[in-house]
Structure formats: C-alpha cells, structure tokens
Amino acid sequence: MNFRNSKLQHMKIYTKTGDKGITSLIGGTRVPKHHLRIESYGTVDELNSYIGLIRDQDISIHNKQVLKEIQDRLFTIGSSLASDPERSKMVIPDLHLADIELLEKEMDLMNVQLPELRHFILPGGDNAISFCHIARCVCRRAERLTVHLSEESKVDERVNIYLNRLSDYLFTLARKIGNEHKIPENQWIPRV
C-alpha cells in the first residue's frame, strides 16, 4: 500500500480549532470546553478508559466480553451527549432497554454466587477490585453530571438509568472478582 495515496495521510489528530478553549458539538454548536455537556461526555470517556483497564486484568473471559459491550454502550452515550439536541441532524446510535437489562441480569447472576452483603466494603485487595471501585466512582460522577445536564437540556433518560445501573454493576463485579480470587472483602467496621 502506498502511504502517500492512502486516506490516512489526510487524517490529522489535531485540528487547532479548540486552541481558544471552544469546541464543537455534533450539529456544529460551539461551546466552551468547560460546558456541562462537554464535562458529561468527557467523564463518560474517562469511565470508558477505566473499564478498559479492568478488562486488562486477570478476570474471566465472560466478564471481559460484558465489559467490551459496556464500552460500546459508553461510546453510544458519549455520542448522544456530544450532540446538540436542537441542531444535530446526524443519526447516532441509541441505548435500548435491553442494554440496561443486561446489566441487571449480570448483577443477578453474580449476586447468586456472592455472600450476603452485611457491611460497607472498602475499596482494595487487588488491582482489578480497586479499578472496579475507581470506575464505579467515575461512573457516579458521570451520572451526577448527566442528571444535572438533563435539568438544563435534553438527555435521553436511559443514559441516566444506564449509568446508575452501571455503577451498581461495577460494585458487584468488584465483589465477584474478589470472590473468584479468594480475596476477603475489606469490610468497613465503624468505630463506636
């Protein structure tokens, strides 16, 4: 393949259009890079990176496959959040009820195999467990941001529901990984 004739030669990562702190939403609307919509999809992107980090750990093939599906859904959410709801005419992927149901089904399957939860759990015990907890915290932040955004602008309600379920899934996954690796849960026993 002749690199000079390929389309890759014309694709640049940098555009210089954001050098003054302004960026474009899908649909062309220009907004500051600190805009709530940018914060929302930026946090979803951060979450997606942590999900990738969890996938790189010593976890089951099944969990890796589910996490890959979740990463795909997070790109869907990012596309939705990056679109100007009033101006974008681009058709973007959307979330389905089945995406939320998948998380619920996976949690139900994991919970059957886990001991009853009787204490709060402190993060830690193994890298994979800790990464799940970090991702859970980032997911909660993404949820808070998208809920805030939905008070100001149109956001598909399934986005907020999905992020809510995903944080619960990540907590359950942390417990499941610990259980599979025979790592005792780091229970919080409050001082009284």
- Is the pLDDT higher at 94 or at 171? 171
Choice among 17-21, 107-111, 117-121 with the minimum mean pLDDT: 17-21
CATH classification of the domain holding 55: 1.20.1200.10
Whether the pLDDT of residue 192 is over 90: the answer is no
pLDDT at 33 over 80: no
- What pLDDT shows up at residue 26? 61
| Bigger pLDDT: 127 vs 86 | 127
Range(s) of the domain holding residue 50: 31-83+93-185
Query: Alpha helix locations (H) across the chain?
Result: 36-55, 61-81, 97-112, 127-152, 157-180
In terms of Cβ atoms closer than 10 Å to its own Cβ (0-12, 13-18, 19+), residue 9 is: exposed
Residue 12 lies in a domain: no
Residue 44 located in a structural domain: yes
Residue 24 lies in a domain: no
**Is residue 119 in a domain?**
yes
Q: Are 177 and 59 in contact (CB under 8 A)?
A: yes
Model confidence, pTM: 0.85
Confirm whether 176 is domain-assigned.
yes
Domain count, the chain: 1
Instruction: Give domain status of residue 181, yes or no.
Output: yes
d(CA 112, CA 116) in angstroms, rounded, equals 9
Cβ contact 143:82 at 8 Å = no
Token duo for residue 187: 């229970």
Asked whether residue 17 is domain-assigned, the answer is: no
> What crossing angle do the helices spanning 97-112 and 61-81 adopt, rounded to 10°?
150
User: What's the rounded Cα separation, in Å, for the pair 134 and 100?
Assistant: 21
184 pLDDT higher than 50: yes
pLDDT-based confidence at 4, cuts 50/70/90?
A: very low
Question: Does position 50 have pLDDT exceeding 70, yes or no?
Answer: yes
Write out pLDDT tens, residues 53-91: 999 999 999 999 999 999 999 999 998 888 776 665 655
Does the pLDDT at position 96 exceed 70?
A: yes
Which region, left, alpha or beta, applies to residue 182 given φ > 0 means left and ψ of -120 to 50 means alpha? left
CB atoms within 10 A of CB 37: 22
What does the pLDDT average to over 159-187? 96
Residue 137 has pLDDT above 60, yes or no: yes
Q: Is position 190 within any domain? A: no
What values do phi and psi take at 133, rounded to 5?
Answer: -70, -40
Residue 11 has pLDDT above 80, yes or no: no
